[in-house]
């Protein structure tokens, strides 16, 4: 693969990893431009194991980022990268204009609501995973508020121990998460620093540079 950008994400990046936690890698790659014009298009995502890794083709990656997808967008805000190329760095430099107020509200609150739904409908034998879902919920809400109010995202949590404690507390009684959701909705309804819509023209220009670079 022509890897443009790759780094460790997930619990390790958040500061929530514990002994035995998986290492998760997220990356993006560029398919040879000629392959995009054939009858059979190249694979848009490549998933590997040991370590767990997901690589999205540049076109898919940028579409996910423009939708403010929390998982895909995370790669633009990492402190360190395993692979970083000039084209990858160009995309990182655009990160503030690729997200949007509407997209963050929809995507982040949507994902957080999914985590709450999992908590409310879990079976008794799934209790061990409940705290993990609750931690994700807390993290997503905090990230949404930070993005909305500052236009930036800090991937590593400032207080991972507090997030763990909140996760355990919410897992015991999932309805405790509802005030956190209400607060986040209120913050995201207020004035923010993100653009109303993502800069699709800048994303398109970047993707065209990628296609030129890998045309042969």
Q: State the burial class of residue 88 (Cβ atoms within 10 Å of its Cβ: 0-12, 13-18, 19+).
A: buried
Residues 6+ apart with CB under 8 A from 129: 122
pLDDT given for residue 18 in this prediction: 82
pLDDT given for residue 157 in this prediction: 96
pLDDT band at 109 (very low <50, low <70, confident <90, very high): very high
Torsion sign across C-alpha atoms 2, 153, 102, 105: positive
Note whether 130 and 171 are within 8 A (CB): yes
pLDDT band at 50 (very low <50, low <70, confident <90, very high): confident
Q: 215 φ, ψ to 5°?
A: -90, 135
pLDDT given for residue 124 in this prediction: 59
Q: Where are the beta strands (DSSP E) in 49-196?
A: 52-57, 83-84
pLDDT digits (tens, 9 = 90+) for 124-169: 556 668 988 999 999 999 999 999 999 999 999 999 999 999 999 9
pLDDT band at 209 (very low <50, low <70, confident <90, very high): very high
Does pTM surpass 0.85?
Answer: yes
Q: 32 by DSSP, 3-state: which?
A: coil
C-alpha 149/C-alpha 128 separation (Å) is 34
C-alpha 170/C-alpha 177 separation (Å) is 6
Angle at 70 between CA 13 and CA 95, to 5 degrees: 85
pLDDT digits (tens, 9 = 90+) for 57-95: 999 999 999 999 999 999 999 999 999 999 999 999 999
Which DSSP symbol is given to 6? E
């Amino acid at each position: 693969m022509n890897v443009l950008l790759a780094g460790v994400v997930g619990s390790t990046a958040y500061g929530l990893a514990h002994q035995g936690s998986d290492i998760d890698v997220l990356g993006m790659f560029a398919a040879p431009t000629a392959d995009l014009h054939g009858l059979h298009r190249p694979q848009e995502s490549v998933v590997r194991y040991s370590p767990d890794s997901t690589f999205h083709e540049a076109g898919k990656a940028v579409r996910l980022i423009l939708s403010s997808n929390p998982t895909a967008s995370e790669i633009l805000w990492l402190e360190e990268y395993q692979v970083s190329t000039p084209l990858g760095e160009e995309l990182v430099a655009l990160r503030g204009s690729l997200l949007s107020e509407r997209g963050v509200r929809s995507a982040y609150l949507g994902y957080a609501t999914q985590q709450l739904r999992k908590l409310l409908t879990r079976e008794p034998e799934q209790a061990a995973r409940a705290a993990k879902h609750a931690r994700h919920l807390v993290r997503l809400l905090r990230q949404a508020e930070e993005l909305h109010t500052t236009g930036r995202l800090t991937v590593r949590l400032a207080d991972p121990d507090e997030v763990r404690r909140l996760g355990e507390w919410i897992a015991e009684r999932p309805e405790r998460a509802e005030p956190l959701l209400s607060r986040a909705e209120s913050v995201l309804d207020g004035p923010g620093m993100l653009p109303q819509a993502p800069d699709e023209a800048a994303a398109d220009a970047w993707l065209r540079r990628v296609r030129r670079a890998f045309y042969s």
